[in-house]
Amino acid sequence: MSLNDTHAGPHAKLIYMANQIAKFMESKPHDEGLTLLASHINDFWEPRMRRHLFEVLDAGGAGLRPLVLEASAAIKRPVVAA
């Protein structure tokens, strides 16, 4: 597998990255982990990346760890398409 595979589109890599963050946050008390996961993505992910993440979420969130799905309500949906 290569996450940089041009043909695979942007989603595989972002799913991977979101899950990586989730794995760190999973070792925290649940609510804290949830809040921090959302704020981490809000703070560090450029709107384009969040838009792609929402494309995955809107399509059912396949491949994302439960904590990401749960935190998604607190992740900011980018306002304008970049």
Partner 1 sequence: MKDFIIPDRDFGTPAAKSKQMVTLTIDGFDITVPEGTSIMRAAAEIGISVPKLCATDSIDAFGSCRLCLVEIEGRNGTPASCTTPVAPGIKVHTQNAKLKQLRRGVMELYISDHPLDCLTCSANGDCELQDMAGAVGLRDVRYEAIDTHFKVKDTSGIANPNYIPRDDSNPYFSYDPQKCIVCSRCVRACEEVQGTFALTIEGRGFDSRVSFGAKTDTALSSDCVSCGACVQACPTATLQEKSIIEIGTPERSVITTCAYCGVGCSFKAEMRGDELVRMVPYKHGKANRGHSCVKGRFAYGYASHKDRILNPMIRDSINDPWQEVSWDEAMDFTAKRMKGIIEKHGRHSVGVITSSRCTNEEAYLVQKLTRAVFMNNNTDTCARVCHSPTGYGLGQTLGTSAGTQDFDSVEETDVVMIIGANPAAAHPVFASRLKKRLRQGAKLIVVDPRRTEMVESPHVKAEHHLALTPGTNVAIVTALAHVIVTEGLFDAQFIQDRCDWDEFQDYAEFVSQSQNSPESVALLTGVPAAEVRAAARLYAKGGNGSIYYGLGVTEHSQGSTTVIGIANLAMMTGNIGRPGVGVNPLRGQNNVQGSCDMGSFPHELPGYRHVKGEGVRDIFEKAWGVKIDDEPGLRIPNMLDAAVEGTFKGLYCQGEDILQSDPDTKHVAAGLAAMDCVIVHDLFLNETANYAHVFLPGSTFLEKDGTFTNAERRINMVRKVMAPRNGYGDWEITQMLANAMLKDTGGAKWTYTHPTQIMDEIAMTTPSFAGVSYEKIETMGSIQWPCNDKAPEGTPLMHVDGFVRGKGKFINTEYVATDEKTGPRFPLLLTTGRILSQYNVGAQTRRTGNVAWHSEDLLEIHPHDAEVRGVKEGDFVRLASRSGDTTLRATITDKVNPGVVYTTFHHPDTQANVITTDFSDWATNCPEYKVTAVQVSPSNGPSEWQEEYNAQAAMSRRIAAAE
Binding site for partner 1 (CB under 8 A): 1-4, 6, 9-10, 13, 17, 20-21, 23-24, 26-29, 40, 42-49, 78, 82
Tokens of 48: 């384009």
- Our CB check for partner 1 shows the closer of 43 and 60 to be 43
Q: Identity (one letter) of the amino acid at 55?
A: E
Contact between 33 and 68 under an 8 Å Cβ cutoff? The reply is no
C-alpha–C-alpha distance, residues 23 and 65, integer Å: 8
Residue 34: CB minimum distance to partner 1, A:
15
Smallest separation (angstroms) from partner 1 to the CB of 28: 6
